[in-house]
Amino acid sequence: MIAGIIAEYNIFHNGHSYMLQEVKKHADYVVAVMSGSFVQRGDAAIADKWSRARKALINGVDLVLELPVCYALNAAQSFAEGGVNTLSALGVTDMLAFGSESGDIELLWETARAMEKESGDVSEKVRSFLSEGMSYPSALAKAHGKGNLLSSPNNILAVEYIRALMRSGNSMRPFTVRREGANHDGTGTRGDYASASRIRKMLLEGEDASRFVPYSLSDIRGALGYDISRLDSAVIAKLRASSPEEISRVNEMSEGLHNRIVRAAMETDSFAALCEKSKSKRYTMSRIRRAVIASLIGFTKDIYSSAPEYVRVLGMNSSGAKILKMAKKRCFVPIITKAADFKEKSAMFDLDVRATDLHALCAPSASDRIGGKDFTTSPVIVK
């Protein structure tokens, strides 16, 4: 049995290791679809995608695929849809595993069904709450009367994974592992568990985070420390040089948000200050950050498609190689192991390449800031 996981592994930590151990009690192999250069909260990944794929492979994943940036840098529904459809394209049909604060698969199923059958009254409530200045996640939770469940980020994603499965027609059985240890994006620690955001903060501030990861941090010390602040000038310059029409075409950019961002770009000189000045009750900080990064990398609304145009391999072990060999017989989109061999015309792929090249500029070491890595880096092979 093959289990699919949609992940970021930014950074891979003990909570991820625990989840994989639980999943492998029910599945023989794990295929992870992992965010590449930029992540869903609207930030640069702390390390390049190949370094992160290697840690996932060493700690229990068998095959790592890249989640195209048009899904990775998007709202929960599109993030989930892209991950599920990428697994479907490869031919994974057994199990979709994910973490959740709830750990109650029946409750998550019930909520997903209710949201898929959303009535006109509920839709009107959502619109009403939005008009009052409420963020979309909060409006959704209140309209459905699921405030406790839908106030937790992993629960929201879990529900969206199930909804994506329902729409895709894929027979994968949803399976959830209750989140152990620190809360998602939490600042605290619990035993040997800490959230990825807490660990990233510790690493960037030079603190010892070794007890929270199942490997030696010295192994990837040189690969860590990618920081979006290194793109401050590029972000501001891009927005100031873009026309209102160009900015309006950017993914997740609504008229109200794009006016706030354009105004803020003229009054600030950094990514963080720009996003803070653009903040309002209606738009989550993650959405603002994603929209700003989308503007920089040229992610326009027309690039998004619910159907992935390819499957990109980042790494594998021997079991993953066998899965890939079988998948090549039934995969209905090109499987990319060497980017240079991919000759199809694809705006989705071109966006991934731009994202990789711009993410490289976030690297702490000048030697890692060169472009073209998608065409010079081979998939990670772990024995």
Asked if residue 108 belongs to a domain, the reply is: no
**Has residue 380 got a pLDDT over 90?**
yes
Do 218 and 323 sit in the same domain of this protein?
yes
How far is the C-alpha of 339 from the C-alpha of 336, rounded, in Å? 6
Strands, E assignment, 271-332: 311-316
Tokens of residue 121, six digits: 């009254």
Q: Which domain holds residue 137?
A: 113-151
How far is the C-alpha of 50 from the C-alpha of 197, rounded, in Å? 20
Asked if residue 126 belongs to a domain, the reply is: yes
Exposure on the CB side of residue 103, measured as CA atoms within 13 A: 7
To the nearest whole number, what is the mean pLDDT of the chain? 91
Write out pLDDT tens, residues 328-370: 888 989 999 999 999 999 999 999 999 999 999 999 999 999 9
Do 132 and 253 sit in the same domain of this protein?
no
DSSP state, 219? G
Please classify residue 222 by burial: count the beta carbons closer than 10 Å to its beta carbon, then call 0-12 exposed, 13-18 middle and 19+ buried: middle
Q: Which of 286, 303, 320 is the last residue of a domain?
A: 303
Q: Which of 51-65, 145-159, 265-279 has the lowest mean pLDDT?
A: 145-159
Do 237 and 295 sit in the same domain of this protein?
yes
* Bridge pairing between strands 2-7 and 29-35: parallel
**Number of domains the chain is built from:** 3
> Does the predicted model carry a pTM greater than 0.75?
yes
Q: Which of 90, 124, 151 is the last residue of a domain?
A: 151
**Has residue 4 got a pLDDT over 60?**
yes
Do 180 and 74 sit in the same domain of this protein?
yes
Task: Say if residues 30 and 280 touch (Cβ distance below 8 Å).
Answer: no
Asked if residue 107 belongs to a domain, the reply is: no
CB atoms within 10 A of CB 75: 19
Taking phi first (over 0 means left), then psi (-120 to 50 degrees means alpha), and beta for anything else, what does residue 53 get? alpha
How far is the C-alpha of 146 from the C-alpha of 111, rounded, in Å? 8
Write out pLDDT tens, residues 238-264: 999 999 899 999 999 988 899 999 999
